[in-house]
Amino acid sequence: MRLLVILDPLPLIKTYKDSTYAMMVEAAARGHELFVCEQHELALIGDRTLATARALRLTDTTGSSDDWYELGQPAREPLEAFGAVLMRKDPPFDMEYVYSTYLLENAVRQGAKVFNDPRAVRDHNEKLSIAEFMQFVAPTIVTRSADDLRAFVEEHDEAVFKLLNVMGGTSVFRAKRDDPNLSVIIETLNEFGGRSVMAQRYLPEIRDGDKRVLLIGGKVVPYCLARIPKAGEFRGNLAAGGRGVARELTARDREVGEALAPVLAARGLLLVGLDLIGDYITEINVTSPTCFQEIRQQTGYDVARLFIDALEAAVQSR
């Protein structure tokens, strides 16, 4: 199968921990041909979505070298010319990302097999999509109103504020009732009523980690990665200095995962990363979920193999 991966610039990929790299290593080991392009190399020409893609040959599959690939010459091809297309561009989910989902959706109409489904990605904001599953969610509001945000903090004593289109713990604030900077935090985030903000009740269970539970092809991966905040931090995100510890799922983790997995898979979301703190979902990640390598390195469970199995099955079924 010719497999096109849309991703961030290759020199930026940290192969020792990158999940997209793990996917490509497993796909290449099975004899699939790899091609890559960046988001800006997608274009609509006539009625076709085209990609300026390059063949990728992996020269190191151990994740231990900065010199790990060779690229072929660029060639522009319609996306349906590939056996499958993986959209693995990291957020922020800005308007350029939205435009890319429209281009990819057009490719699907022309016969391309795109994972995750671009319409489903666009429809599932990684913060707001938890609203569909409120039975698994701690108290949460989304609003532009400074008064609502302040009242939420006063009701719950502590809250976490976050924006709706960023990743990695960027612009996440822990707000306390008696914080003299509370008004400044709210004004900074909501831009004086011009931008929506999510507020969630602060969950002290974050000390035990922000758990990434992976759903692949409608199945729940039996291990999660608990991202434990570093000293003096409340954010567990690896990008914010958190430490990743792989663990078996708890009964509650599995209950939540099994409730959501078939629903999301039926919508074309082949790979989903649920974020749980304690017993509660805080986010549903559908753009470029990660943590494959950390789980494999610590438990021996090969998440990339499970993913490529699911990808091959999904391609055959379409």
Task: Enumerate the active-site residues.
Answer: 127, 162, 212, 227, 235, 275, 283, 285
Cα radius of gyration (the chain): 20
**Tokens 């890319």, located at residue:** 100
Torsion of CA 39, 44, 49, 52, to 10 degrees: -50
Strands 48-58 and 75-78: antiparallel
Instruction: Name the strand (E) or helix (H) holding 84.
Output: strand 84-87
- The one-character DSSP state at 315 is H
Instruction: Name the strand (E) or helix (H) holding 316.
Output: helix 303-317
Q: Hey, how many other C-beta atoms are within 10 angstroms of the C-beta on 168?
A: 15
Strands in 92-209 per DSSP E: 114-115, 140-143, 158-162, 173-176, 197-201
